[in-house]
Amino acid sequence: MSDKILELRSLKKYGGYAVVLLIGLLLGYFLFNSGTEERYHDRTQETLAVTSYTCSMHPQVSKDKHGKCPMCGMDLVAKNIMSDGTTLGVNQFSMSENALALANVQTTVVGFNDNKDNNGTTMVLSGKITSNDRTNAVQTTLFDGRIDKLDVNFVGEYVKKGDKIGLIYSPEMYLAQDKLLTSASYKDTHQKLYAAARNTLGLWKMTDAQIDEVLKTGKPMMNFPLYADVSGTVTNIMAAEGNYYKQGDPLYKVSNLYTVWAVFDAYENQLPFLKVGQDIIINSSAFKGEPIKAKISFIEPVMDEDKRTVSVRVTLNNKDRKFKPGMFVQGSATVNYKSQQLTVPKSAVLWTGERSVVYVKSNADAPTFEMTQVSLGESVGDSYFILDGLSPGAEVVTNGTFTVDAAAQLQGKKSMMNSREEGNVSSLNLEGTKVLLEIKESPHISKLVHAYFDLKDQLVKSDSKKSSAEALKLQAILGRIDFNHLDESLKADLENFKEYNNAIAVAKGLEEQRVQFKNLSQQMIIIVDKIGGLSKPIYLQHCPMADNNSGANWLSFDSDIKNPYFGDKMLTCGTVARTIQ
């Protein structure tokens, strides 16, 4: 009986605890839930304080209500205005603090590079050792013949002037010796004939001793010995035994390696800091810790168009044969630049074809950025001089730059992939507009021409994948043109253009793309000729060797030839046929 009483008391005790817990939960729900909803609502209102609408393709469009873009017809998307009431600029965008931290985005304030002590900065150039062209020489044959034996067998062998270098069989020399023997029998009566025959052999570098030996034996020499005319180290062998060579053909090349050249490549923006007579310190991994001090002896006046560099030459004493032709070296030159030069770290600069851009933090108190185009000066160390585009105190992104650029692209702002300036609807940079055709004002045709040039540039670079991508962009532009309002002639031309462009988009290789590009270009020429009213001249260029020497045309904004049918194989092959105004 007592056990049942204890059990009953225990149930009452725990039941009371459960009731208290339930009451606490209910009180907590009613006390805190309404406040949470209110705070959540407040934060939402803070983020979405003011909303306007813009177009992803045309950020300059701004509307108070949702609708269609007046330029391309796309749905407008909401853009948030900051809670303090400030509106982001057309090409400004923001990033969250979390995104900045994950990408390790860092910024640097642009300032002047003072050079008060004038100690300068070190510029490093890369180059290699070459033979001194002024000491190079070539051993040639003095008469026609077949090389039966060649004693110069390998590069690096030293040959001294007068050394026997091989044997040559020459029918011409054999006949000349035979003529000498014949004239010798009439020496007393035909002295001039004998002298002429002897002089002929002398002109072919046959010595008096050799001539006397032929006269003594009474037999012509079948294999005539060859003797070195020059001394030096063999750098290239161009002859082989058993081959027939004509008079003057090269057998091998020699060089006097007591002096050599160190030839460095300097880029355009480095040239203002280099001059003949300037000191340069040369280092090589072959002799670490033993830098050589020398002076710049020559700077080539012509630029290498392929490498876009100029050769800077240094003459080195090489009596101990320390430097070997082909050896890589580094040159360090001290650069003294003017004080008060505005500079920016190299890591901040992005390249978009011919333009250089940086991302500027537009609000010191908020993570908002904007792409800015800059004009670069010379490159010194880890920095570029800024000629235009930035002011002292500007804060630029120096780490995580590509992440910031990706954020700009995702938000539809100006970026590396979309860096063209937006302006008047009828400008050549118009994107995606469907308008009625007017002969003198044809913005959609202008856009088509620009996209055609982008395709042409990728073919110049021999990039098949990007050429296909540009052809797809052309398809999109063609899809935005309202064909219903075009005259029948132009409509037919554009239909043909569309067909050739589609063939490029699905082509399986670069060669097939270039074949179709010929047809595409011919159709574009017809369209541009019909439209007229161009704001700038377009050059019709022709390559006579394209399409298996049948010739092909293309259009370009630049009068300089850059051949899309051969690329870097024959980049400048072609001429300007005419100018379309």
Give the pLDDT mean for 344-365. Answer: 83
Quick: pLDDT tens for 508-535.
Answer: 889 999 999 999 999 888 888 877 667 6
Residue 568 and residue 461 in one domain: yes
Instruction: Give the residue numbers spanning the domain of 175.
Output: 134-255
Lowest mean pLDDT among 68-72, 237-241, 571-575: 68-72
**Residue 69, CA distances (Å) to 16, 424, 441 in order:** 67, 15, 21
**Residue tagged 């001539």 (tokens):** 211
Answer with the one of 209, 236, 255 that is the final residue of a domain.
255
Query: What SS3 state is found at 279?
Result: strand
In the chain, the number of structural domains is 6
Answer with the one of 312, 335, 358 that is the final residue of a domain.
335
Residue 169 and residue 224 in one domain: yes
Q: Are 515 and 508 in contact (CB under 8 A)?
A: no
Q: Of 484 and 547, which is predicted with more confidence?
A: 547
What sign results for the dihedral spanned by CA atoms 196, 198, 199, 203?
positive
Quick: pLDDT tens for 389-440.
Answer: 888 888 999 999 888 888 888 777 788 776 544 433 223 332 333 323 333 4
What sign results for the dihedral spanned by CA atoms 468, 473, 479, 485?
negative
**Residue tagged 């040369």 (tokens):** 282
Residue 261 and residue 128 in one domain: yes
pLDDT reported for residue 411: 77
Reading across the β-sheet that carries 223-227, which strands appear in turn?
223-227, 164-169, 145-150, 244-245
pLDDT reported for residue 20: 54
Burial classification of residue 296, based on how many CB atoms lie within 10 Å of its CB (0-12 exposed, 13-18 middle, 19 or more buried): buried
Give the amino acid at 234: V
Q: Which residues are 488's β-sheet partners? A: none
**Residue 18, CA distances (Å) to 21, 22, 28, 30 in order:** 5, 6, 16, 19
Give the pLDDT mean for 24-43. Answer: 47
pLDDT reported for residue 13: 53
pLDDT reported for residue 280: 93
Q: Which residues are 131's β-sheet partners? A: 260
Lowest mean pLDDT among 122-126, 184-188, 327-331, 473-477: 184-188
Residue 473 and residue 351 in one domain: no
Residue 158 and residue 245 in one domain: yes
pLDDT reported for residue 399: 92
- 415 lies in a domain? no
Quick: pLDDT tens for 4-26.
Answer: 444 545 545 555 555 555 666 65
- 67 lies in a domain? yes
> Which DSSP string do the residues of 50-79 spell out, in sequence order?
EEEEE-SS-TT-EESS--B-TTT-PBPEEE
Name the band, by pLDDT with cuts 50, 70 and 90, for residue 221: confident
* pTM, two decimal places: 0.43
**Residue 153, CA distances (Å) to 74, 159, 236, 268 in order:** 75, 11, 10, 43
pLDDT reported for residue 310: 94
Q: Of 505 and 50, which is predicted with more confidence?
A: 505
**Residue 112, CA distances (Å) to 343, 372, 380, 392 in order:** 6, 19, 14, 7
| Residue 251 φ/ψ, nearest 5 degrees | -100, -45
Residue 366 and residue 395 in one domain: yes
- 294 lies in a domain? yes
Answer with the one of 289, 308, 335 that is the final residue of a domain.
335
The tokens for 66 are: 């949702």
The CATH number covering residue 321 comes to 2.40.30.170
Give the pLDDT mean for 198-214. Answer: 79
Query: What SS3 state is found at 137?
Result: strand
Name the band, by pLDDT with cuts 50, 70 and 90, for residue 192: confident
The tokens for 542 are: 């022709």
- 16 lies in a domain? yes
pLDDT reported for residue 293: 92
Round to whole Å and give the CA distance between 200 and 197: 5
- 422 lies in a domain? no
- 212 lies in a domain? yes
Closest CA to 418 of 371, 376, 383, 386: 371
**Residue 98, CA distances (Å) to 104, 125, 397 in order:** 10, 41, 16
Round to whole Å and give the CA distance between 416 and 405: 7
Residue 41 and residue 57 in one domain: no
First to last CA, the chain: 117
Round to whole Å and give the CA distance between 389 and 415: 16
Name the band, by pLDDT with cuts 50, 70 and 90, for residue 250: very high
Round to whole Å and give the CA distance between 407 and 397: 13
Phi-psi region of 360 (alpha: psi -120 to 50; beta: other; left: phi over 0): beta
The tokens for 239 are: 């002859």
Residue 573 and residue 448 in one domain: yes
Q: Is pLDDT at 472 greater than 70 in this prediction?
A: yes
Round to whole Å and give the CA distance between 20 and 30: 16
Q: Are 363 and 93 in contact (CB under 8 A)?
A: no
Round to whole Å and give the CA distance between 455 and 464: 10
- 431 lies in a domain? no
- CB atoms inside a 10 Å sphere around CB 322: 16
Residue 473 and residue 530 in one domain: yes
pLDDT reported for residue 455: 92
Residue 461 and residue 347 in one domain: no
Residue 326 and residue 390 in one domain: no
- Percentage of the chain lying above the pLDDT 90 cut: 18
Residue 209 and residue 240 in one domain: yes
Chain mean pLDDT for the chain: 78
Round to whole Å and give the CA distance between 263 and 130: 7
Give the amino acid at 454: D
Round to whole Å and give the CA distance between 344 and 372: 13
Q: Is pLDDT at 38 greater than 80 in this prediction?
A: no
- Buried-state track 56-89, b at ≥16 Cβ within 10 A, e below 16: bebbebeeeeeeebebbeeebeebeebeeeeebe
The CATH number covering residue 201 comes to 2.40.50.100
The CATH number covering residue 384 comes to 2.40.420.20
DSSP state of 126: E
Round to whole Å and give the CA distance between 496 and 493: 5
- 525 lies in a domain? yes
Round to whole Å and give the CA distance between 263 and 241: 35
Query: Which uninterrupted H or E stretch holds 517?
Result: helix 510-531
Q: Ranked by mean pLDDT, which of 206-220, 301-315, 483-497 comes out on top? A: 301-315
Name the band, by pLDDT with cuts 50, 70 and 90, for residue 49: very low
Tally the residues of the chain: 581
Q: Are 312 and 299 in contact (CB under 8 A)?
A: yes
pLDDT reported for residue 282: 92
**Residue tagged 């985005």 (tokens):** 105
Long-range pairs for 564-569: beta carbons < 8 A, 24 or more residues apart? 564/456, 564/457, 564/459, 564/460, 564/514, 564/517, 565/459, 565/514, 565/517, 565/518, 567/459, 567/460, 567/461, 567/462, 568/306, 568/462
Q: Is pLDDT at 71 greater than 60 in this prediction?
A: no
